[in-house]
Structure 1
Amino acid sequence: MTEWLSRTELLLGEEKIKRLQQSNVLVVGLGGVGAYAAEMICRAGVGTMTIVDGDMINSSNRNRQLPALVSTDGRPKAVVMGERLLDINPGLDLTVLQEYIRDERMVEILDRGFDYVVDAIDTLSPKIFLIYHSVQRNLPVVSSMGAGGKRDTSLIKISDISESYNCKLARILRKRLHKLGIREGVKVVFSPEPVPGESIIRVEGERNKKSNVGTISFMPPAFGCAIASVVINDLT
């Protein structure tokens, strides 16, 4: 074991560290939630990761997204996060995909085989596609619901999607997955905290977006850390 994981080994033990080092995790979406999930999974000692995002960093990301700095403005999120992860663990077997993945491309990536899949996509159709095809391949998957418009970290829940409640995205996702024959077996991180109507504005001309929701600095990272806890605890 390398020295940088010594404190983790004190908690988990040598056998579980070895298990993490032999694990392969896919993280799709590197925004406010996904980037924190990816970094915490890396810091826990997972040995192989694939990270995916086609978006560029802009100044509006800086209030909540891990890779967003003045110095990284305009750079690809996937590339910046790849640099961070390798700076944490230079021995990480890392694949960086700077792209929006859909349909056949997503299937191609999933067919590479993973020990865990993290869905941190904020667009509904590719989110459903990723979850569906992960379940079809018996790949464990944890999905992030909406962190926008919320500010009470004590209300964050981890459950099976069938047990989620008072979350608009989870409700829509449940209905769509039901039509595909999936009623349970997908873990989600969600919050039942109501979203104030005044925190939502309509937008035009943004890729895959009809509205923007107000966000606070600490809520997406808390979701991301909860997701990482699911992955690491299940893998060990």
Structure 2
Amino acid sequence: MFRRNALVIGSGAVDALSRKRVLVFGLGGVGGAAVEALARSGVGRLGIIDDDIFESSNRNRQLAALESTLGESKVRVTANRLRDINPQIELTLFEQKLTGDRIEEFFAEPVDYVVDAIDDIPGKVALASFCQRRGIPLIASLGTGNRLDPGCLEITDIYRTHTDPLARKFRKALKEAAVSSLEVVYSREKPVKLEGGHRGPGSLIFVPASAGILMAYQVVVRLIAVH
């Protein structure tokens, strides 16, 4: 199924990706797009982590959120979707929330790359600290809510970010945890003011899905560069 992938990146890279293992934390608008892009790019082994279910409000931006999947586990629905894309894919399912005291459970098997698509600051910091100690490559997403323009997304180091309120809190927490560097996808776009004074967040599909695909792109090119 990856014949067209091979025309672009080469058959050797396709073969290498089939043996790589990536963990994706969070299966919302960002993580759901990232994990699907990874599967369609040929990453052969994925661990998917989320403790949530699909709700009606997810349908405007989350790829696996459908009328038929409302109320169902994001992990199980996503797993079925990925197996429908690639029946040979190897999946490890974690229907649980990331917490710092149980983080090693997710790394019982070797991991080549980690995608952080959660919005919980303590969880993000715990994951960044763990990956830094273990030398595991990690890319993290920042705020995608209350934004409209996917062209404002970029990949950079967390300490070079600006504008994003989530990034400000994350930078402070990472400094306190002695995390020296972290690759992130973030938006330079200022959050829009929400109609009617709502606190939000508001969201359309454009920015979160694009952020997820950008994260998957970075993971794939880094993995095949190592190859």
TM-score bracket, shorter-length normalisation: over 0.9
AA at the equivalent of 1:192 = R
CA RMSD, Structure 1 to Structure 2 (Å): 1.3
Q: How far off is 1:112 after superposition? A: 2.6
Distance 1:20 1:102 in 2: 29
1:6 to 3, 6, 31: 3
Q: How far off is 1:181 after superposition? A: 1.2
AA at the equivalent of 1:195 = P
* Structure 1 residues 174-230: Cα deviation after superposition (integer angstroms, max 9, x where no partner): 11111111131x11000011112426745xxxxxxxxx3000122211011001011
Contact 1:150 1:193 in 2 (8 A): yes
- Residue aligned with 2:194, SS: helix
1:140 to 128, 137, 141: 137
- TM-score, with structure 2 as normaliser: 0.94
* Structure 1 residues 120-166: Cα deviation after superposition (integer angstroms, max 9, x where no partner): 01111111111111111100000000100111111111111122121
- Residue aligned with 2:191, SS: coil
Out of 100-109 and 21-30, give the one that drifted further: 100-109
1:1-236 aligned within 5 A = 4-184=1-181, 186-198=182-194, 201-202=198-199, 212-236=200-224
User: Structure 1 residue runs of 4+, over 3 Å off?
Assistant: 199-202
Distance 2:206 2:73 in 1: 22
Q: Which residue number corresponds to residue 205 of structure 1?
A: none
AA at the equivalent of 2:188 = P
Contact 1:174 1:183 in 2 (8 A): no
Segments of structure 1 that go 5 or more residues without pairing to the other structure are: 203-211
- TM-score, with structure 1 as normaliser: 0.91
Distance 1:79 1:62 in 2: 17
Distance 1:139 1:217 in 2: 30
Segments of structure 2 that go 5 or more residues without pairing to the other structure are: none
Out of 172-181 and 78-87, give the one that drifted further: 172-181
Distance 2:100 2:159 in 1: 25
Q: How far off is 1:111 after superposition? A: 4.4
Paired-residue identity, %: 38
Distance 2:10 2:188 in 1: 35
**Number of residue pairs matched?**
223
Out of 36-45 and 121-130, give the one that drifted further: 121-130
Contact 1:110 1:134 in 2 (8 A): no
Distance 1:180 1:219 in 2: 29
Out of 58-67 and 166-175, give the one that drifted further: 166-175
Q: How far off is 1:36 after superposition? A: 0.5
